[in-house]
Amino acid sequence: MEQVQFMRNLIIETPSVPGNFAKVALAIGQLDGDIGDIQTIKVGTLSTIRDISIQCSSEAQLLQIVEAVNQIGDGISVQAITDDVLQAHEGGKIHMKGRMEIRSLGDLRRVYTPGVANVCELIKNDPEQAKYFTGISNTVAIVTDGTAILGLGNIGPVAGMPVMEGKAVLFDQFAGISGIPILLNTSDPDEVVETIKHIQQGFGGILLEDIGSPHCFEIEERLKAELSIPVMHDDQHGTAVVTLASVISACQQTNVLLSDAVVGQIGLGAAGLAISRMLMNYGVKEMRGIDRNEVARQRLADHGGTVIDSLEELMATCDIIVATTGVAGLIKPEMVRKGQIILALSNPNAEITPEDALAAGAAFAADGRLVNNILGFPGIFRGALNAHAKEITYPMLIAAALAIVDSTKPGDLVPHPLDPNVHLNVAAAVERVANNL
């Protein structure tokens, strides 16, 4: 479960003596700061200056980290705090660019008038030719109403645009797909569905993004029923694909047979319900879930899952636990059953830390830092578009999850999201299944 995190870069100077950077890293880690990229700016005779990326939960936590580094002594100090995140977003992260250069009158005539008229006539007489002579079949609409942006909630579609641009960049880099953000100023299911139906001819697929529950369920179901192009809500099925891959990987590492295991899902919102359905479609025979919302509980029951009344009962009766509640510390160590697999996926603070879960007897435990939708959606759409699929089915999604597992190195839960091979493997697996439907 992806939630907002506070990111800044610290410019830190340390005397050029072995061990000083270790002191800095320790000070940051003791305050739960997460070190990202480290760039050495200057190596001098007396001192070294590094640019260190830090992730934390708030500005207050960052200031505590800065104070702690400055208090180390030995000439170690924070020289500046920079905001590389805002700089990266200046002017936006995407722009439309032509694939052909116009350098001569002949180029102009081929690309635009009069030559383009021939292509228009061709498509008029055979609309299927648009797949080959336009970019439609390689373009995905990234649609949001801004009601569930990361961990920020309902902040509106314009404030969510940086996320949509980010998705477009990932589509381009990992799958060669043109992603076009579509911002809707309505959350009414009828209006959302009708709007997308009116614009869908210009796209090869629809990615629904950061649309809140419960209206996200109706919107996706109706679009899948009424459109003849792939539609996927990433917060549901993208999350579910990567979670299934994580569960399979964890079972392989602990010699647990997933088909015989009792699986418990804590939290039955968009992600939780989708994970439950994905696991049941994969072959889990006993899927149990809990949520405070009665409508969410009923949805699980309607899809064949078993609703449990208390967290304690769920923890006591399930072999595998998946949590997507966003409630830090919800799972107490005393609830953990010996030998359980626990995936507490809420970020930045999990329902229980892997360290606490393992100390309490879990056979395997992980949090949500590695379970990233990036591993799924680019390859899923690449495969679907390659196959000219009219929909994204559970067999295609399960194939994507298995491709992620097959791309995982021994000892890892899932592959690194920047590994280009995983996206190629997911695309190929999805395309194979889609062509055999």
The catalytic residues are: 112, 167
CA–CA separation, 189 and 157 (whole Å): 15
Quickly list DSSP for 389-428.
Answer: -SS--HHHHHHHHHHHHHTPPTT-SS--TT-HHHHHHHHH
Dihedrals φ, ψ of 179, to 5°?
-100, 125
Contact 413, 366 (CB under 8 A): yes
Helices (H), 207-361: 215-226, 239-254, 270-282, 294-302, 311-317, 354-359
Going by C-beta distance under 8 Å and a sequence separation of 6 or more, which residues neighbour residue 62?
6, 8, 33, 54, 56, 81
Phi-psi region of 352 (alpha: psi -120 to 50; beta: other; left: phi over 0): beta
Contact 358, 344 (CB under 8 A): no
Q: Residue 114, preceding bond cis, omega within 30 degrees?
A: yes
Quickly list DSSP for 198-235.
Answer: HHGGG-SEEEE-SPPTTHHHHHHHHHHHH-SS-EEEII
Angle of the 239-254 helix axis to the 270-282 helix axis, nearest 10: 50
Q: Which of 166, 126, 168, 174 is nearest to 149 (CA)?
A: 166
Q: Which of 373, 371, 370, 375 is nearest to 419 (CA)?
A: 375
Angle of the 270-282 helix axis to the 294-302 helix axis, nearest 10: 20
Q: What element of type H or E holds 109?
A: helix 105-111
CA–CA separation, 263 and 305 (whole Å): 10
Quickly list DSSP for 62-79.
Answer: HHHHHHHHHTS-TT-EEE
CA–CA separation, 32 and 353 (whole Å): 12
